[in-house]
Amino acid sequence: MPAAEELRRRAAEAAGRCGVDLDAVAGDREGTSPVNGATVSSLRWAQVSEVDEAVARAHAAFKEWRLVPAPVRGAVVKRLGELLTQHKEDLATLISIEVGKITSEARGEVQEMIDICDYAVGLSRQLFGRTMTSERPGHRLMETWHPLGVVGVISAFNFPVAVWSWNTAVALVCGDTVIWKPSETAPLCALAANALLQRALSEAGYSTDVSQVVIGGAEVGEALVDNRRVALVSATGSTRMGRAVGPRLAERFGRSLLELGGNNAAIVAPSADLDLTTRGIVFAAAGTAGQRCTTMRRVIAHESVIDSVVERVAAAYEKLPIGDPMSDGTLVGPLVNERAYEAYAAAIEKAQAAGGEVVAGGDRVLADAAPDAFYVRPTVIRMPEQTEVVHQETFAPILYVMPYTTFAEAIELNNEVPQGLSSSVFTSDQVEAELFMSAGGSDCGIVNVNIGTSGAEIGGAFGGEKETGGGRESGSDAWRAYMRRATNTINYSGELPLAQGVTFDV
């Protein structure tokens, strides 16, 4: 494991290269690394009153930013993409240090930021409205889309910068300003990413108040949610967090975009290519140490192939290198903190009490080398049925495997859990694939065939149904959440006919 001082030095240097003045943000709030438990930052957290001040600045900046032509706003996002490319290694280093992602996944997260910038630049010239036929002669109906206002972004630790970029790149080209409340676990990631955006804004001659960061605990997030000048809050995190955020926004008629928990399953059919299936399962279930919202947590395998699937996945798990996420060859890094480990251990105990058999993993490792960090073996548990513990999302590398007999039963098991984010089926049967994607198939927001549940691309809208929250980020028409729609009627007839044939002569 790297020494504590070495980790702190690398974090400070990477943040500095991105433009973060650590002296200006220094304070007494220590940030630790899940890599070895060492302190890697000492920062000042925002007070609740500072959130209102930030919102006031963002609202003032919005009045100017909304008038900038969308393609010109897109040019600022293009510059952000260039700066992210230039500082890809710096941001990846901070991601690995603050949240424990292996290097390739950390680089992949930054690449996702670059990709959404490219997407948003094109979007800046495609914020289309419709023209509709009017029932009245000499009239035209059309809809126009306008900037919404201040957007609050609340992000989780597991994607400390990518989720911010999904929201921010799109919000900026839509004409909105952004205030970001990042995870307390990854403040340096947030400061570094925002510093690059503020540089892009400054170079183009725009106020840096267009994008701000407020670092703090739950009370800071609550202040952002409750501020009536924040038009939209995009919140990523647990279902519990969403239950708190949603009603508070609804009470003041603010907009919410919620991307919450996932309890994602793969159905493995008798016709599945088991080599491909195994690779898909292992990455989706063990990648990021099981700490993605799209992590595969359940496998629903046909009774004719379940033994082979369990054997293959367990064998692959035994070969997974676990350790320092920044070391070459490591595939599984640490859990984010001790609470995550306690949840992991408790879930395994509950599964065993419900008749589950631990086939692979199930224990903590490297405790001697890193006593203040929490590394675990990715775990496969064979379950007789889908019990209560399987219905709960445990943010750790635990994979429950259960049998099915008919495909209809498999779909029912897939849909039985309260979450509805991502799902997949491994099959060579076109009928099964089409059924799984149909209205009678998976009830999730992401439905895949012959790939795992994780690894979504930015071109498609990301999010899910039920307790996942219903929000959509990133691609497709997700941009509409960041704008307000106006329906316009233009009368060029010289007369004044009323709709629906109404007469009102005076």
**Residues forming the active site:** 259
CA distance 282 to 141: 52
Among 27, 203, 193, smallest CA distance to 98 is for 193
Task: Find out whether 207 and 137 touch, Cβ atoms under 8 Å.
Answer: no
CA distance 178 to 198: 11
Using DSSP's 3-state secondary structure scheme, residue 42 falls into strand
Give Cα 345 distance to the centre of its chain: 25
Task: Find out whether 15 and 188 touch, Cβ atoms under 8 Å.
Answer: yes
How far lies 115's CA from each of 85, 159, 458, 475, in Å? 10, 15, 7, 11
How far lies 131's CA from each of 134, 214, 335, 481, in Å? 9, 41, 52, 20
CA angle 148, 486, 178 (to 5 degrees): 5
Strand order, beta sheet including 255-259: 211-213, 177-181, 150-154, 230-236, 255-259
CA angle 364, 367, 371 (to 5 degrees): 130
Which long-range contacts does 359-367 make (Cβ < 8 Å, 24+ apart)?
Answer: 359/310, 359/314, 359/401, 360/313, 360/314, 360/317, 360/318, 361/317, 361/397, 365/322, 366/1, 366/322, 366/323
Give the gyration radius of the chain's Cα atoms.
24
Number of neighbours of residue 268 by Cβ within 10 angstroms: 27
b/e map of 407-427 (b: 16 or more CB within 10 Å)?
beebbebbbebebbbbbbbbb
**Position 359: which residue type?**
V
Task: Find out whether 222 and 247 touch, Cβ atoms under 8 Å.
Answer: no
Task: Find out whether 295 and 162 touch, Cβ atoms under 8 Å.
Answer: no
Using DSSP's 3-state secondary structure scheme, residue 181 falls into strand
